[in-house]
Amino acid sequence: MRTYHCLSLFIWTYMYHTTYAIPFQEKGNSDLPSERIVGLTQDDGKMLHRTKRGWMWNQFFLLEEYTGTDTQYVGKLHTDQDKGDGNLKYILTGDGAGSLFVIDENTGDIHAAKKLDREEKSLYVLRAKAIDRKTGRQVEPESEFIIKIHDINDNEPKFTKDLYTASVPEMSGVGTSVIQVTATDADDANYGNSAKVVYSILQGQPYFSVDPESGIIKTALPDMSRENREQYQVVIQAKDMGGQMGGLSGTTTVNITLTDVNNNPPRFPQSTYQFHSPESVPLGTPLGRIKANDPDVGENAEVEYSIAEGDGADMFDVITDKDTQEGIITVKQNLDFENKMLYTLKVDASNTHPDPRFLHLGPFKDTAVVKISVEDIDEPPVFSKVFYLIEVDEDVKEGSIIGQVTAYDPDAMNNLIKYSVDRHTDMDRIFSIHSENGSIFTLKPLDRESTPWHNITVTATEINNSKQSSHIPVFIRILDINDHAPEFAMYYETYVCENAKSGQLIQTVSVMDKDDPPRGHKFFFEPVPEFPLNPNFTIVDNKDNTAGIMTRKDGYSRNKMSTYLLPILIFDNDYPIQSSTGTLTIRVCACDNQGNMQSCNAEALVLSAGLSTGALIAILLCVIILLVIVILLKFTFLTIRQRKKEPLIISKDDVRDNIVTYNDEGGGEEDTQAFDIGTLRNPEAREDSKLRRDVMPETIFQIRRTVPLWENIDVQDFIHRRLKENDSDPSAPPYDSLATYAYEGNDSIADSLSSLESLTADCNQDYDYLSDWGPRFKKLADMYGGDDSDRD
C-alpha cells in the first residue's frame, strides 16, 4: 500500500512540474539579458524555447526517499551558446554538488546520486555555470537555482515518552482530566496531512477517554473505587493523515493509579470480643487488642478508639496503637473478683480525618462490645489502713496493750490470718503482737527522752498459705511524762567581789529539763526549806525560767570566808511536779573599782589580765632564747661526739694500715665475760671461749676459728703462730690488720691491782688497804674492804 502511495505521489509531482514550469521560469528569469536564449527541459526530446534570457529555470522539485534502481533525474542545464560541438562545459556548485547531485558536464543533465530525506534537509541551493573549454571563460554568468525536496508520509507520529505515569483520585466525576500525552510527526506540516496527528484510545475503555486533538486523557466512568481496582493501563494511539486510512501511527502506554480518599468508614470484623483478666493484675496491664478494618490507606485509614459506655468504663481504658491501628484494652483501676466478676464495654472506632464530601455515605465509625471476665486468685491479706499511728505514754507498764492492727483475707475462702512483728524493724524487741487478734503490747520500758519514735513493721500472713502475706508500717509515738527534774543548764563559776554592795546582781542562772510538756516549760526558783533565809545572798525568780543571785550585804572578806555554797530549789509546774536542788559555788575575789576580778583566795585566776602587752612580749622572747640555747648545746654535744669517733677508712682511696682499737676496761671481778689475759697462756681455752655478750664488735668480718694448739706454749711463740696464720689466711681483709696484745709479763714486784686474773685465784684477797688511800677510793673500800656480812 505504501509503495503504491509513493508512485502516485511521484506521478503527481511530475505532473506538477510539467504544468507549472513555465510560470516559474518567467518569474525567475526576468532579470537576465534578453538577447540570450536558454532552454530547460525534463525530456531529452522536448525543448522549451524562451527568449530574453540565457538560463531557463527557477527551481526544481524532487521527491524524497526515492527507491528506484537508477539515479533520480532532476533536470537539464542548457544555454543557447551550446552548439552541440562539445566546446562548452557545465559546472555545478553549492549544497550537495558532486556528492548528492551530479551533472553531466557535456549535456548539463542533473541527477540525484543518493536517496534524499526531507526531514534531514528540505532545500538545497546550487549554482550553475557554463565554461568554454578552449578559453576557460564563462559563456554565461553564474546563476543560482533551488532544488526543493517534496515530502512524502514516511514518518509515523512519536510520543514524547514511551511510558506515562499518572494518578487521579478515586470517586472522581466523568471528564476529570488525568494527563495529557503529546505525539509529534517529523513530516512536513505545511504540505498535505502527513503531519496532522489524531489521538485515539486503544486500551482502557470504558474507564478513560482521550481528546483526539489535544491528547488529554479523562475519566469516562463515575465513582471509580480504589478499593475495587487501583491500577489501570491505558494505550493511546497517535495517527497522522488526520486519522485517515493509510496514515502512519504510534502508540504509548499510560499507567493510571487511583489515589485514595476517605470514603470508607472503619468496620469491626466481629461485634463482640471476650477477654479474661486475673484480679491481681497491676494497673496499666494490657488485656487484649481489637481492630477495626478500614479499606482506605494512609491517614484516611487512621482509627481512634474510645469507650462509649458500659459498666466498666471507669475500670478499663482503651489506647490506640498508631503503628498497627489497634485498640489496646488496659486496666485502669484495681479489679476485685469478689466485688464484680464480669464487665461489659462498648468501644467505638472512628476515622481521625473524615472527608466532608462523603459524610452522606453514613457515620464514619463502628461499635463493638467488649466483655471482660475477672478471674479469682489467692490474694494476700489486706489491712484496714494504709498505716497505723499509735501514741503511748512513756510510763506504760511492760506487757500493756498499746494498739491493734486488723487485716482480712479478701478471697472468698476468708482464710485465717496470723500477725507478727518484723524483727529487723525492732532489733531491741521492745514490742510484740498477738498473733491472732493483732494487739500490740510492750516488752520493755519506754523512754521518750532516748527514743521518742518507734517505727515497726507488722506482717499479716495467711495460715493456710504462708506465701500470701502483707506488710504495714506502724508508727509508735512515745508521749512525754514528767519524770525528770529540772537542773542547771551548765556549770556556773560564780564570784563575788570583796567590795560588792548589797543588792548587786552577781549571777543569772538558767535550767533545763529533759521532759517536753505540751504547754512548754515553766520553772520556779526558791531557797531550800532547810535554809529559808540566807544572810549573804538572795534568790530572785525572774519569771522567765531564769533566776538572779543578788548580794544581801555590803562587803565580803576572803580571810573570813573564801567560798559560799548557795543551794537553790528548782521545780517545774507539770504533773507530777519534779524538783531538784542545785548548789551554786560562790567564791570571794579581789576586784578593781570597775568590778573586774583580779584574784580569788591566794591564786591568781586571771593573771594575764594584769599584765601589759610589753610584759607578755618580754616573757615570750625569754622563752624563745632559752629554747635556742638548749638546741645549740645539744648540737655542740653531738658534734663533739662525732669528732671523737674517727672512721677506720677515710675514703675508698685510703689504703693505709688500719688499727682496730678496743677501749675497754675491765668490769671488775663481777665481769665474767671480760677479757682474761689467761687466755693468751691457754690457746685451747681461747678456741673454746665464747664471744662477749656485753660489747658489740666493730669489725665487719666474722672471727675465723683456727686450729687449736694443744700444748702450753709461750706467749711469744703463740703470737708468732697467729701472725703466720693470718698471713696465710685467704679470707683476711684486703688491707693489713694489726692485732695488738697488751701483755705485761708473768709477775710484777709491785703486784697488780687488775682483776683480770681474779677468776683463776684460789683464795680471797684482802682489800682493807683501800681505806687508807683517801676519799677517792672510799667507794672501792666500801665494796671490797668490809666484812663478809657487809658485802653480803
Residue 276 β-bridge partners: 373
pLDDT band at 723 (very low <50, low <70, confident <90, very high): confident
State residue 660's pLDDT score: 53
The mean per-residue pLDDT over the stretch 219-243 comes to 91
What is the spatial distance between Cα 415 and Cα 434, in angstroms, rounded to a whole number?
A: 17
What is the spatial distance between Cα 249 and Cα 158, in angstroms, rounded to a whole number?
A: 8
Q: Cα 649 vs. chain centroid, distance in angstroms?
A: 69
Residue reference for cell 472503619 = 266
What is the spatial distance between Cα 466 and Cα 487, in angstroms, rounded to a whole number?
A: 54
- Nearest Cα to Cα of residue 320 among 370, 279, 357, 286: 286
What is the spatial distance between Cα 217 and Cα 227, in angstroms, rounded to a whole number?
A: 22
Residue 581 pLDDT greater than 70, yes or no: yes
Residue 576 pLDDT greater than 80, yes or no: yes
pLDDT band at 47 (very low <50, low <70, confident <90, very high): very low
The mean per-residue pLDDT over the stretch 295-322 comes to 91
Tell me the per-residue pLDDT of 475-523, one tens digit each, with 9 for 90 and over. 999 998 888 889 998 989 899 999 888 999 989 999 998 888 878 888 9
What is the spatial distance between Cα 62 and Cα 464, in angstroms, rounded to a whole number?
A: 119
| Minimum mean pLDDT range among 172-176, 529-533, 660-664 | 660-664
pLDDT band at 27 (very low <50, low <70, confident <90, very high): very low
What is the spatial distance between Cα 531 and Cα 676, in angstroms, rounded to a whole number?
A: 87
Residue 26 pLDDT greater than 80, yes or no: no
Arch. (CATH architecture) of 158-259: Sandwich (2.60)
Write down the H helix ranges in 476-545: none
Q: What is the largest CA-CA distance in the chain?
A: 199
Residue 41 pLDDT greater than 50, yes or no: no
Range among 2-6, 434-438, 644-648, 688-692 rated most confident:
434-438
Residue 36 pLDDT greater than 50, yes or no: no
277 Cβ contact partners less than 8 Å away, ≥ 6 residues apart: 285, 287, 331, 335, 372, 373, 374, 375
* DSSP character string of 201-250: EEESTTTEEE-TTT-EEEE-SSS--TTT--EEEEEEEEESGGG-TT--EE
- 13 vs 414, residue with greater confidence: 414
pLDDT band at 612 (very low <50, low <70, confident <90, very high): low
pLDDT band at 89 (very low <50, low <70, confident <90, very high): confident
What is the spatial distance between Cα 27 and Cα 160, in angstroms, rounded to a whole number?
A: 43
What is the spatial distance between Cα 625 and Cα 761, in angstroms, rounded to a whole number?
A: 59
Arch. (CATH architecture) of 272-375: Sandwich (2.60)
The mean per-residue pLDDT over the stretch 188-192 comes to 73
pLDDT band at 731 (very low <50, low <70, confident <90, very high): low
| Minimum mean pLDDT range among 124-138, 250-264, 742-756 | 742-756
Q: How many CB atoms lie within 10 A of CB 209?
A: 20
Q: Cα 388 vs. chain centroid, distance in angstroms?
A: 43
State residue 685's pLDDT score: 44
State residue 414's pLDDT score: 83
Q: What is the dihedral of CA 226, 227, 231, 237, to 10 degrees?
A: -50
- Nearest Cα to Cα of residue 250 among 319, 322, 337, 185: 185
Fold classified for 487-599: Immunoglobulin-like (2.60.40)
Range among 38-52, 99-113, 437-451 rated most confident:
437-451
- 562 vs 606, residue with greater confidence: 562
SS3 503: coil
Q: What is the dihedral of CA 137, 140, 146, 149, to 10 degrees?
A: -80
Pair 47, 82: CB distance under 8 Å: no
Burial of 216 (0-12, 13-18, 19+ CB in 10 A): middle
Q: How many CB atoms lie within 10 A of CB 570?
A: 22
Q: What is the dihedral of CA 19, 25, 30, 36, to 10 degrees?
A: -120
State residue 4's pLDDT score: 34
State residue 790's pLDDT score: 42
- 245 vs 270, residue with greater confidence: 270
What is the spatial distance between Cα 55 and Cα 33, in angstroms, rounded to a whole number?
A: 9
pLDDT band at 364 (very low <50, low <70, confident <90, very high): confident
- 692 vs 582, residue with greater confidence: 582
Strands 365-375 and 272-278: parallel
Amino acid identity, position 101: F
Average pLDDT, the chain: 78
Cα separations (Å) of 638 from 133, 661, 662? 148, 22, 22
State residue 625's pLDDT score: 93
What is the spatial distance between Cα 443 and Cα 580, in angstroms, rounded to a whole number?
A: 31
pLDDT band at 747 (very low <50, low <70, confident <90, very high): low
**Domain covering 59-150 in this structure, CATH number:** 2.60.40.60
* DSSP character string of 628-666: HHHHHHHHHHHHHHHHHS--S-SSTT----EE-------
- Nearest Cα to Cα of residue 161 among 38, 30, 96, 251: 251
State residue 52's pLDDT score: 42
State residue 662's pLDDT score: 55
Domain 382-479 has CATH 2.60.40.60: yes
Tell me the per-residue pLDDT of 648-688, one tens digit each, with 9 for 90 and over. 444 444 444 555 555 555 555 555 554 454 545 454 444 44
Cα separations (Å) of 784 from 763, 770, 773? 14, 8, 13
Residue reference for cell 482480712 = 408
- Nearest Cα to Cα of residue 170 among 228, 254, 233: 228
What is the spatial distance between Cα 345 and Cα 311, in angstroms, rounded to a whole number?
A: 7
Strands 546-551 and 537-541: antiparallel
Cα separations (Å) of 524 from 70, 184, 497, 519, 575? 153, 123, 27, 16, 14
Residue 283 pLDDT greater than 80, yes or no: yes
Percent residues over pLDDT 90 in the chain: 35
- 61 vs 562, residue with greater confidence: 562
Specify the domain boundaries for CATH 2.60.40.60 within the chain. Answer: 59-150, 158-259, 272-375, 382-479, 487-599
